[in-house]
Structure formats: C-alpha cells, structure tokens
Structure 1
Amino acid sequence: MTKKRYQGETNDKERSMQRLMEAVGCVIKEKGYSGLGPTNIAKAAGLNKRLIYFYFGTVDNLIEQYVRSKDYFAGASNGANQLLEQNKASGTCKLLESLLINQLEHFYNNEEMQKIILWQISQKSQIMYEVAETREQLGAHFFELADKELDRAKVDLRAVAGLLVGGIYYMVLHAKSNDSLFCQIDVNTKEGIERIKSAISTILADTYRCAGLSNN
C-alpha cells in the first residue's frame, strides 16, 4: 500500500505561494505590469488576496520575488553566481562569453522576462531598481576579476559589455514584437541566434586581443 504524502499546513503554504508567484507571470503576460494589483493576481491564482499579505507581506514583495526568480542575473536559480565561481580560473573572456550567450538564450525563450525588461525601461519602479542593483553587484564581482587581467587604459570592458547586453535585449524585443529583420538578421530563427552568438564571441575576442590577451 502506497503511503500518502502529508498534505498539511506547510505543503498548503508552499503550493499557495507557488500559485501566487505563477499568477504574477500570468498577469504580466495578459495585462502587462499595469495590471499587477492584488485582485488580478489573486484571481489568476484562484486564491483569496489576503494570502498575498499573509505569505509575502506586501504585493511588491511578491512581485519582487517573482522577478528575481525569472531574471537571469538576479534570480538565485539561474546559476549566474555559480557560473562565475566555476569558470573564473579559465579567464574572464570565456566567462563573459558564456554569461552573455546564456543570457541571450534565456531572454529569447522567456516571454515573461521580456515583459519585465520592457517594464524596467519604461517606468520607474523601486522593484526594478533593486533587481537592477542585484545585477550590478554580480557585474562588480565579474569586473573585479577582469581588472586583474586587463589593462583598463587599452580597453573599456564595461562599455563593451554594456553594449552587448543592451544589444541582446533590444534585438530580442524587436524580433519578438515586430517579427521583422534587424540589420538583415532574422533573430526569430536558429541561424539568426547563432549569428548573434558568433558576433558576441568575436567582439569579446577582439576586445581582449586589444588588451594583449590573445590566449583568453
């Protein structure tokens, strides 16, 4: 006879919290960030909105926890910090290349994250500010490693990385929103994505070569 799993208070709490988190994503996709009120979230979750305050304290706390779970750099589950630790010994060029290519794939395949980035760049928000600060903290860790390798007088890796990250966001959002070419590249195809990945690798290799690090 199969032993039934205990379905007590702890399990009910975990399930309800997960449903509320998932509901935030549903509301973002259906109504956009302007629809992220307690009533819409609770309705999408099929739960009483009082549970939002009981489990998360505030609606903003719920939304922030959701955003962090989806953000490539800010989310604890995306492994960015682990990637930093595992690959820093092989040189920061390959490390940054891996981070950016993984970010491209993650962002392209995550509709909710695309909505979140649109929210971040179109409306001032304390939630988005704090998530952006988390990304910057990770970036500071990476650049600290890179500064030990690079001659900052020869290359500005921060500017290069900023252009690449911004380019990834814009090209994906443009392709997803308009389904059109960008610089004659169809980002909505496997070939297009591979061309962007190749360009990322080439730009980083040339940047490090300018700093005299041709073997990274």
Structure 2
Amino acid sequence: MKSREQTESKILEAVASIVECDGFEKLGINTIALKANVYKMLIYRYFGGLEELVARFIMQKDYWANTDTLILNPHSVGDSIKSMFRNQIEQLRTDVTLRRLCRWELSCHNASIDRLRDKREENGCNLIKVVSRLTGCSNSEVASLASILSASISYLALIEDQCPTYNGIALQTDKGWEQIAQGVDMIVDLWIKSIQEGKN
C-alpha cells in the first residue's frame, strides 16, 4: 500500500474510533490528527478539510449507499432481496459506528448528510428499477415494499440499546433478530408468490 493510502486509511480509522467511542459531535481536526498520529496538514491535503473527511467516512459506511445492483440474481430475485435485508440487519447490529451515523443523521442537517442522502437515494432508486424490471412490478410498488422493510429494520436496530423488547421480540438477542429476519423473509416470499400467481 502506498504512503498516501496508508495515511488516509489511518485517518479514516481514527474517525471511526472517535465516532464509536464519543459520537460525531467530538470530531475535530486536532482530535483526529492526534488519534491517527499524523500532521493536521495531511488531513487538509488528502481530504480538503473536516467536512470533506466526514463526508468520505459516512459515504463508505452507509449500507444502502453502497449496495450494488449486482447482488440481485435474475434467477432468484426473492432470495437476493431477502439477502439484502438480512445483510442490512447484520451490518446495523454489528457496526456501532453505523448506528451512531444513523442517529447523527436524524439529529442534524449539513452538507455531508445531504450528499449521503443523495447517494443513498440514487443507489436505492437504481436497486428499485432493477427489481422492478426483474419482477415486472411497478417502481412504486417495489419502492413501497423496500421503504417499509428497510425503515423498520433501521428503527428497530436504533432503539435496540434502549428498548430490549418490542412486541414480545427480544431485540438484544440473536434469536430475536432471527425472528425479525424470518418475518422479512415471509413478507418477501408472499410478495414473490403473489407476482407468480398473477402471471398464471
């Protein structure tokens, strides 16, 4: 790995560490430089400044902004969709920094968040178009289903720390989340079945 790539990686790792421990509110050029053990000028040289660095960091962390349409297998669309939502659950549950990012996004407004939302929206719409083409359903139908499922998963993951039980489901356990994942699977299976029955 080249020297610049190593330094950029150290800086981004420092951002992740600070966010995980203290949240986005504690981010600052001095704090990041100290944590990464680099000169402040390198952050400006490689990223342009704090806002650009934060934008780069959150862009690489967001699940839906980085989900590739290639994940959708034309021969098993339903399984591909279920896999996407299970991956969302896994990433939100295991990545403290991502959960902090989601909470931060809900609590403030700035250019970095605008860029993230634009990227997520662009990528999400591309995924919806591909699913629509593969299933023969309208974009609006796919978008409605995707929005309900992804938003539900995000909400439950974000309240997990403060809300141990939701509708009798133990949110702080793997068993509880497997129950939720199976519920998502069931919804997707029923939707795919209704499409197949409509074609017969």
Q: Counterpart of 2:136 in structure 1: which amino acid?
A: L
CA distance in 1, matches of 2:50, 2:141: 40
Q: Please state if 1:69 is matched with 2:84.
A: no
Tell me the alpha carbon deviations over residues 59-101 of structure 1, each in whole angstroms, 9 at most, x when there is no partner: 12211221122222324xxxx21xx325331243322211111
Correspondence for 1:28:
19
Structure 1 gaps of 5+ residues are 1-9
Structure 1 residues 198 and 167, CA gap change in structure 2 (3 angstroms): same
The percent identity for this pair of structures is 21
Q: Is the radius of gyration larger for structure 1 or structure 2?
A: 1
2:91 match: 106
Structure 2: give runs of 5+ residues left out of the alignment.
none
TM-aligned CA distance change 1:213 to 1:45, over 3 Å: farther
- Contact kept, 8 Å, 1:100 with 1:165, in 2: the verdict is yes
* Shift >6 Å, 4+ stretches: none
TM-score when normalising by structure 2? 0.88
CA RMSD of aligned residues (A): 2.3
- 1:145 alignment counterpart: 130
Q: How does 1:1-216 map to 2 (within 5 A)?
A: 11-75=2-66, 80-81=67-68, 84-148=69-133, 149-152=135-138, 156-175=141-160, 177-178=161-162, 180-212=164-196
> In 2, Cα distance between the equivalents of 1:30 and 1:103?
22
With normalisation by structure 1, the TM-score equals: 0.82
Offset of 1:45 from its aligned partner?
1.3
CA 1:214–1:111: 2 relative to 1, 3 Å? farther
